[in-house]
Amino acid sequence: MALSEVIVAPETRDLEKLALRLAYWLSGKVPGGGPVAITNLAYPRGAGQSHETILFDASWMDGTKTVEQGCVVRIKPRAFTVFPDDLFVEQYRVMKLLAEDGAVRVARPLWFEKNPAILGNPFFVMEKKQGRVPVSIPPYARQGWLREATPEQRRRLWRGAVEQLALIQHVPVAAADFLEGPAGAERGLAQEWDKYERFTAWLEETAPQPVLRDALARLAATRPTQGPEGLVWGDARIGNMMFDEHFDVVAVMDWEQPSLGGALHDLAWFCTLAETMHGRNSSHGAHLEGMGTREETIALWEQVSGKSAQGLDWYEEFTHFKMTCTGVRLGHLRGAPIMDEGMMRQRLKVA
């Protein structure tokens, strides 16, 4: 089986049984309350490692009219929890907020179910968008449709992706006040800093983390007092965007770790991942001509967002710390470390 055909979901289930449960549940949600037919269930390939996400089509009668709706069900993880914070409800609310605003292209949330008895855990259903995703497995810069695209097509994709990233910063922070954190870290940089201090402590429940502690101390010594306010997407990369045949953005996806941590977190994450995945110093050794440079990305983001990227370097170093925390956690879940201590110290610039 080709890598592009691999299902990377944290767990899978019997799709025929799932179809029956979803059909029964949806019959109580759709107009008229009639029977619902569920077809074409499938797991996405090469993406979706943190949540069980399943694509399907639903159809039902509304009076004399047949309604057909492409859907995606996203189920809250049970044992395979990558992050310490449970933001499943907030994920749905952020997507609903963005869908209502309309500037950022997201899949429209349709229904939320908090009762775990239906599918074993809470879940929500959103509309299914049609398009292509630059997947991580295998890396999109090595093979696949983006690798095969022309530099002009990649340029269009890059520009649209950065514009969508920047438009997130047009969402008023007050509209997402449900993302305010614990006392003392309600919003701004303090919220993201508190999250990753707690992430480190959570990892230490499994094993000591001297490298992460050293890195936190180094980052704390140069930590800015504050940056521009703003909504945080949390996993800002083109691999979490869907594109149509014209290389335009169809949807911005995976809002599982949102916050009010400030505008520069997402830009730093995007720039760091771009360099890692397809930049001139890509770890995959596969630069994609046409994709914007870091400097071009920053300039376009500032232009569209209306915010300054001054001080971004520190946020990029913090991004490496965040990614390392996630990598350590994935190593714990898989029973094998993803990187050794020497690699971690080099990545985080600690002796």
Element (H, E) at 57: strand 52-62
Helices (H), the chain: 15-27, 88-101, 145-148, 151-167, 189-204, 210-221, 264-278, 294-305, 312-334, 341-348
Condensed to tens digits (0 to 9), the pLDDT of residues 166-187 reads 999 999 999 999 998 765 567 7
- 150: buried, middle or exposed (CB in 10 Å: 19+, 13-18, 0-12)? exposed
8 Å CB contact between 8 and 48: yes
CA distance 45 to 137: 8
Q: Is the pLDDT of residue 347 over 80?
A: yes
pLDDT mean over 138-150: 92
Task: Report the pLDDT value the prediction gives residue 1, as an integer from 0 to 100.
Answer: 35
Q: Up-side HSE of residue 110: CA atoms within 13 Å toward CB?
A: 17
8 Å CB contact between 259 and 266: no
Q: Is the pLDDT of residue 159 over 70?
A: yes
Q: Is the pLDDT higher at 282 or at 124?
A: 124
Task: Report the pLDDT value the prediction gives residue 2, as an integer from 0 to 100.
Answer: 42
Closest CA to 105 of 9, 290, 244, 302: 244
Task: Report the pLDDT value the prediction gives residue 231, as an integer from 0 to 100.
Answer: 97
Task: Report the pLDDT value the prediction gives residue 181, as an integer from 0 to 100.
Answer: 72
pLDDT mean over 307-326: 97
Q: Which residue has the tokens 């979803």?
A: 22
Please tell me the least confidently modeled range out of 96-100, 226-230, 318-322: 226-230
Task: Report the pLDDT value the prediction gives residue 6, as an integer from 0 to 100.
Answer: 61
Instruction: Pull the structure tokens for residue 18.
Output: 């799932």
8 Å CB contact between 82 and 50: yes
CA distance 157 to 176: 28
Condensed to tens digits (0 to 9), the pLDDT of residues 116-132 reads 999 999 999 999 999 99
Task: Report the pLDDT value the prediction gives residue 284, as an integer from 0 to 100.
Answer: 62
β-pair type (109-113, 123-127) = antiparallel
Q: Is the pLDDT higher at 268 or at 6?
A: 268
Average pLDDT, the chain: 91
User: Which residues, 6 or more positions from 84, have their beta carbon under 8 angstroms from its beta carbon?
Assistant: 198, 199, 202
Percentage of the chain beyond pLDDT 90 is 77
Q: At residue 7, what are phi and psi to the nearest 5 degrees? A: -85, 120
Condensed to tens digits (0 to 9), the pLDDT of residues 46-101 reads 555 567 899 999 999 988 899 999 999 999 988 778 999 989 999 999 999 999 99
pLDDT mean over 244-251: 98
Closest CA to 294 of 307, 284, 305, 281: 281
Task: Report the pLDDT value the prediction gives residue 49, as an integer from 0 to 100.
Answer: 59
Rg (CA), the chain: 21
pLDDT mean over 32-55: 83
8 Å CB contact between 60 and 19: no
Q: Is the pLDDT higher at 219 or at 334?
A: 219
The three-class DSSP label of residue 176 is: helix
Q: Which residue has the tokens 């830009």?
A: 267
Instruction: Pull the structure tokens for residue 178.
Output: 């449900």
The three-class DSSP label of residue 273 is: helix
Closest CA to 319 of 236, 248, 207: 236
SS3 for 324-337 is: HHHHHHHHHHHCCC
Task: Report the pLDDT value the prediction gives residue 9, as an integer from 0 to 100.
Answer: 55
Task: Report the pLDDT value the prediction gives residue 8, as an integer from 0 to 100.
Answer: 55
Say what the pTM is. Answer: 0.91
